[in-house]
Amino acid sequence: MKKHFSSLVCLTVALLTLVSCASRNLRPHFTNEVDSKTKTEVLSRQWTYSVEPVSSSLKIPGMEYISPVLFENSLVFGSNRYGLISLYPKILREKWKLPVANGVVSPIEINTNRAFFTGGDGNLYAVSLETGKEVWNYPLRNPVSSKPTVDGNDLFIVTSDDALVSLESGTGKWQWSYRRRNVSGPTIHGASKPLVIGDTVWVGFADGALVALTRKEGKVLWEKQLNTGKRFGSVNAEFILNDHRVYVPAYDGALYVLDDKTGTTIWAREGLGGSKKVTLKDGVVYASSSTGILYALDAKTGKDLWKFEMDSGIPSDVAVLAHHVIVSSTSEYIYAVDKTNGNLSYRYQVGFGSGFSGGITLDPVRNWIYVLSRGGNLMAFNYNR
């Protein structure tokens, strides 16, 4: 009963967080038909694929968090309405479909021609990307929304009750686990994707701790507390590693840049914490804030280059293209923001009451982007620059 209540609190907090930023409308008269400079349509919608529920059982609307993943000539994505689906995006034809009880609830990790994800039935799955057949599954008991990490023959995943589990990626055999103490207060939807750096695994937990453990035994090397008591304590975003620096967004309100050997803070920026990973491109860090603002920062110093405030909703992970940063919102719009100054070039309205909670996937060969709406519609857009 306690676990169910905790899950309900997490879900309620997540929904309230999404709604809390949904009242702004900064550009009611902005036209979204053409770029004001070039007079061209920056994004043109190519097709929409609607995910039909596997049954008539109750599904919570607006909770699709999954980002599509490209694999060779196919596009793989998961839905809590159905399960795992593979499409040929060029011709919009299904390659295969795998029903999963209560759908797919975690982001998808792809490695060695397999997709790894967790289902709403509480199982962790390994699925062949060629056939769509299950290779193995491991019972985690409760639905887990964190993305697995696969590195060689090791798989790491954070469970819904704040444990880091290590499995053999080829077989699903248990290797070791590390558990944090229970968190009594409300937490944010999701858990961090473990980051493997050589023989060390970095992972964030709901109590605000960032912990480094040995890869083979799960022995704690050090831990760093990032919860300062300002907001929710969770550290549940995906980390990125670049040039011996690890970028760690914490939901308590700050973005930390840490030394990859010791965890020592190189710089930190208040107000940029959240559950979305940052994107690093050409010396610029693009960070989505839970307050509805996209920031561009100097990667060396953390100083602002520009910021862009959305009309409403919370930003997604971003895609950095030739001249624009593409970011979607939990409410109504996909935006194309000028990379040089943060000015709005174009926005596409997907409909009042709709939006996106997952990230944007870029196909650099075709110059297309893919995004899954909270209502279960997979959309493809062509980038016209």
Q: Is residue 342 included in any domain, yes or no? A: yes
Q: Is residue 298 included in any domain, yes or no? A: yes
Q: What is the pLDDT of residue 357?
A: 82
Within 10 angstroms of residue 92's Cβ, the number of other Cβ atoms is: 14
Of 46, 60, 45, 148, nearest to 375 by C-alpha is: 60
52 contacts: CB under 8 Å, gap ≥ 6: 81, 82
Residue 306's CATH number: 2.40.128.630
Q: Is residue 70 included in any domain, yes or no? A: no
Question: What gap in Å lies between CA 333 and CA 347, rounded to an integer?
Answer: 6
Q: What CA dihedral angle connects 217, 223, 225 and 226, to 10 degrees?
A: -80
pLDDT per residue as tens digits for the range 78-136? 988 889 999 999 999 999 999 998 899 899 999 999 999 999 999 999 999 999 999 99
- Domains: count for the chain: 1
pLDDT per residue as tens digits for the range 301-316? 999 999 999 998 888 8
For 5, 122, 172, 283, the CA distances from 150, given in Å and listed in that order, are 31, 19, 11, 27
Residue 11 has pLDDT above 70, yes or no: no
Q: Is residue 333 included in any domain, yes or no? A: yes
Q: Is residue 349 included in any domain, yes or no? A: yes
Determine whether 37 is exposed, middle or buried from the number of CB atoms within 10 Å of its CB (0-12, 13-18, 19+): exposed
Q: Is residue 6 included in any domain, yes or no? A: yes
Q: What is the pLDDT of residue 359?
A: 85
Q: Is residue 148 included in any domain, yes or no? A: no
Q: What is the pLDDT of residue 214?
A: 98
3 state DSSP class of 77:
strand
Residue-range definition of the domain harbouring residue 46: 1-60+276-385
Q: What DSSP letter does each residue of 262-273 carry, written as one string?
A: T--EEEEEET--
Q: Which amino acid is at 353?
A: G
Q: Is residue 152 included in any domain, yes or no? A: no
pTM of the model: 0.87
Instruction: Report the chain's C-alpha Rg in angstroms.
Output: 20
